[in-house]
Amino acid sequence: MELVGFVHKYEWGKVGKDSAVAQLATLNDPAFNVDEKTPYAELWMGSHPSGPSKYKSSGINLQDELPFLLKVLSINKALSIQVHPNKSEAEKLHSKLPNIYKDPNHKPEMAIALTPFTGLCGFRPLPEIRDILQNIEPLKALAVEDPNDLKLLAANDESGLRNCYRKLMNAEKNAIGECIDAISKDYTKELYKHNIHEIFNTLKSDFPNDVGVLSLFFLNVVRLQPGQAMFLGANQIHAYLSGDCVECMACSDNVIRAGLTPKYKDIKQLLSSLEYTGAPAECKIFTPVRVDAHRLIFKPPVEDFSLIQLTLKPSDLEYVLKVEQSPGILLVISGERYLESYGLDKLKLKRGSIVYLPFESDTELRFLPAGEGEHEFLAYISTPNAASSCKSNV
């Protein structure tokens, strides 16, 4: 059951055919036309009411309510610094401010890089933050009210981080702008030392006088290579900065923003919700489980979704995947295969194919060779989070 995805044209997206979203949308839907001056930010695959997929054969919206939303993102300009509330917080926020927090659900997310991808995720190790504040005087003046907080940071005490980050996030806009300018002028060596010189200058240009620029010194910069992933659980501070990725998330619109955005910023709620644990950037890279030479499972600690990554070379023979949890959505990133299940007619899969899998549990999906193409077959399959198994004849 092939689907047509829904494209969102947010201003932060990559423009024209530079966008992986535009490339996939064009292949997914022959009627989709790319404008070389338009940003194409997100390709949605699911039943979310803000952009439901349609059945390709009938044009009718996907009817089943899925617990997850699969996306492709193409990022040219940073998305906001944000956290997502847990379920109990989401229920309270939705009840109190339904126009801002539009549903009572949590919003865990997983991003798997398709191209070199840069994001912010979680706080740096606390002693590292202490050293940065000690070496960048304008930032120290803006974020440190009590010198004892530096000692707390050095001792890995989260109360020191809580105090300093709260003071920074509540600073006046003029003071933030002056601090950014002073760092840009006098602390270039520190920017290069922490490998954030280019990011700092880009954010400074795109978001003048925004406190999110200074959050760079508190948050981990995580650089993913294609196939690497980040998982963003409840109350984990993060932002996407650049690159293309496959993202899977629980169905929710709940975002608590605090920087790098013109949208509503709920700094008080963000500071209240935040997880203030510090850890190295490499700890933020999510490790999948390898099932065999062709399949990885990205299985986060939530029930809403998991992701299967399937890779097959053109020379590989039949591969049989048993899906234990349904429904699912399959997205093809590259290569060609035939898909066969339950004796139905073979479905030709290629880059841009999106397929809804409304099957019963333990359904076998058979991936068959489709000619002698040169490209490796790469596909992602999202399902509710349950272990899956397969047998193969490759």
The C-alpha atoms of residue 331 and residue 351 are separated, in whole angstroms, by 8
Query: Among 328, 244, 243, which Cα is nearest to 46's?
Result: 328
Q: Are 102 and 253 in contact (CB under 8 A)?
A: yes
The CA distances from residue 207 to 80, 119, 374, in Å, are: 10, 16, 43
Phi and psi of 11, rounded to 5°?
A: -65, -20
H-assigned helices in the chain:
20-28, 87-96, 126-135, 137-143, 148-154, 158-169, 173-186, 188-193, 197-206, 211-215, 267-273
The C-alpha atoms of residue 322 and residue 307 are separated, in whole angstroms, by 14
The C-alpha atoms of residue 371 and residue 23 are separated, in whole angstroms, by 23
Which residue type does 235 have?
N
The C-alpha atoms of residue 349 and residue 375 are separated, in whole angstroms, by 13
Concatenated DSSP letters for 6-47?
EEE--TTBEEGGG-HHHHHHHHH-TT----TTSEE-EEEES-
Cis peptide before 358 (omega within 30 of 0): no
Q: Are 260 and 211 in contact (CB under 8 A)?
A: no
Query: Among 208, 270, 223, 255, which Cα is nearest to 121's?
Result: 223
Q: Select which of 124, 166, 223, 257 is catalytic.
A: 257
* 257 belongs to the catalytic site: yes
The C-alpha atoms of residue 347 and residue 355 are separated, in whole angstroms, by 10
Token pair for 253 = 């619109």
Concatenated DSSP letters for 214-231?
HHTTTEEEEEEPTT-EEE
Query: Which residues are part of the catalytic machinery?
Result: 257
